Amino acid sequence: MMPRDVDPRLLRGFVAAAEELHFTRAAARLYVAQQALSRDVRRLEQSLDTSLFVRTTRAVELTPDGERLLPLARRVLRAHEELAAAFGADSGPRALLVDLNTDGPSTGRHVLERARELAPDCELMARFESGLTHAAAEIAAGRLDVSFGYADGLAPALRARLEQAPVRYEPLAVLLPEGHALAARAAVRLDELAGETVYAGAGNPRTVEWTGLARELFAGRGIEVAPPAPVAVGKEEFRRVMVKTGHPVLATVDFLDMPGCVKRPLTDPVPLSPLSMVWRKGFGHPGLDALRAAATGLAADRGWLVPPPGSWTPARLTQGPGGG
C-alpha cells in the first residue's frame, strides 16, 4: 500500500542517517538526540512497511529498500525547500550564505558579484572563513550553503555528501618576506624554492585540503612544509607572524597583498589548484542557480578551465593535465 503524508522530518532524519551511516553523527548533524532520530527512522519504516537499515554493533548499512528510497527522499526534500523558498513568509527565497574564504580579491568573489548581477532579487550573503575542509563540513550540516576550494582534496566521506562544479584552475604564487633573496624576482621558479620551508596551513584543521595539495606539489622538489603556526586573522597579525617565522607562504595569484611581504607567481611548471564550487547534495535555491550560471559564464569568458601547457595539477584530479 502506498504511504500517505510522509512527514518531511522523517525523510530528513533518514537522509542524514543514510549519508552518515552512523546514528550518533547523524543526530549531531540534525541537532537532535540520537533516541529521537532512531524513533523517527522507526516511524518511517513503519509508514513504508519496510526495513531501511541493517544495524549491528559494528556498522550501519542501508537495505535494498533504503538504497531505493535515498534518491527519492532527496528529491522530496529538495522540492520542499523550493516550495518554502517560493512561498515563504516574505514571498521570496531565504538568503544564501556563501563562504569566499577571504575578504579580498578571489575567484569566489568574482563569481558572487556576477551572480548578484544575474539574480538581483536574491540575497547572496558573503562570509569569510578560510579552509574548505571546515566549510564543507558546515555545508554538509546545513549551516552554510556554498563555498569554493580544492574539493578533490576533501576526505571521500565528506565529498560524497556534496555536489561540486569546476570553476577555475587557479595559478599558485608564493608570499615572500621583504628582503628575502627571491623577493626581487618577477616570478619564482619552483626549483628556486628547494631548501625552503614554506607555510601551507599545516596543523590548521580547517585547511587540510590545502596542506595536502602543498605536500603533493613540494614532494621530490626539496621543499619542506612549514610546521604548524598560529592562525593569523587580519593583515597586521599575518605580518607579525610572517616576520616572526620568516617562512614563505603558498597562496594563489589573486591572494590579497599583505604588509611586509611580496607576492610572486610560481613557474616552471606553473602549479594550479583546481578550484570548485561546492554545495550540499539535493540542495536547490535560485541563488545557487545564479552562482552556477555565473561560474560557467566567467570560466568561458576568461578561460579559467583551460590550463596553460606544461602546468602542474594534483595527481588525484581525474580530468585535466597531470603533472609533477
Per-residue pLDDT of the chain (324 residues; tens, 9 = 90+): 445 578 888 898 898 889 888 888 887 767 667 888 888 899 999 999 999 999 887 788 999 999 999 999 988 888 877 776 666 544 455 688 999 887 677 899 999 999 999 988 888 988 887 789 989 998 988 888 999 999 999 999 888 889 999 999 999 999 888 888 898 899 999 999 999 999 888 778 888 999 999 999 999 999 999 887 656 555 566 666 666 667 888 989 888 777 778 899 999 999 999 999 999 988 888 899 999 999 999 999 999 999 988 899 998 653 333 333
Where do the DSSP E strands lie in 178-260? 188-189, 197-198, 224-225, 249-252
Cis ω on the peptide bond leading into residue 274 (within 30° of 0)? Answer: no
Residues 6 and 8: their CA atoms lie apart, in Å, by 6
Q: pTM above the 0.75 mark? A: no
Q: Write the CA distances from 266 to 171, 191, 239, 246, integer angstroms.
A: 8, 10, 21, 19
Residues 306 and 299: their CA atoms lie apart, in Å, by 9
**Nearest C-alpha neighbor of 151 from the set 139, 141, 142, 143:** 139
**Nearest C-alpha neighbor of 19 from the set 138, 175, 141:** 141
Residues 130 and 102: their CA atoms lie apart, in Å, by 6
Share of the chain above pLDDT 90, in %: 42
What pLDDT is attached to residue 25?
A: 81
What pLDDT is attached to residue 107?
A: 92
What is the tens place of the pLDDT at every residue in 71-98?
999 888 888 777 766 665 444 556 889 9
What is the tens place of the pLDDT at every residue in 34-58?
888 888 899 999 999 999 999 887 7
Domains of the chain as residue ranges with CATH: 8-86 (1.10.10.10), 96-168+274-302 (3.40.190.10), 170-267 (3.40.190.10)
Cell of 43: 516511524
Residues 266 and 264: their CA atoms lie apart, in Å, by 7
Residues 162 and 44: their CA atoms lie apart, in Å, by 24
Helices 8-20/64-86 angle, 10° precision: 130
What pLDDT is attached to residue 105?
A: 77
Cell of 40: 523517527
Ramachandran area for residue 210 (φ above 0: left; ψ -120 to 50: alpha; else beta): alpha
Residues 6+ apart with CB under 8 A from 210: 131, 132, 149, 150, 153, 200, 201, 250
Helices (H), the chain: 8-20, 23-30, 34-48, 64-86, 107-118, 132-140, 156-159, 208-218, 235-245, 286-302
**Residue 281 DSSP SS3:** coil
The shares of helix, strand and coil residues in the chain, as percent rounded to the nearest 5, are 40, 20, 40
CA 5 vs. chain centroid, Å, equals 35
**Nearest C-alpha neighbor of 147 from the set 116, 118, 124, 114:** 124
Classify burial at 224, counting beta carbons within 10 Å of its beta carbon; exposed 0-12, middle 13-18, buried 19 or more: middle
Cell of 136: 564543507
Q: Would strands 188-189 and 261-267 be described as parallel, antiparallel, or unpaired?
A: parallel
**Nearest C-alpha neighbor of 174 from the set 270, 88, 249:** 249
**Nearest C-alpha neighbor of 280 from the set 124, 151, 163, 159:** 163
Residue whose C-alpha cell reads 612544509 in the numeric block: 225
What pLDDT is attached to residue 91?
A: 46
What pLDDT is attached to residue 8?
A: 83
What pLDDT is attached to residue 289?
A: 93
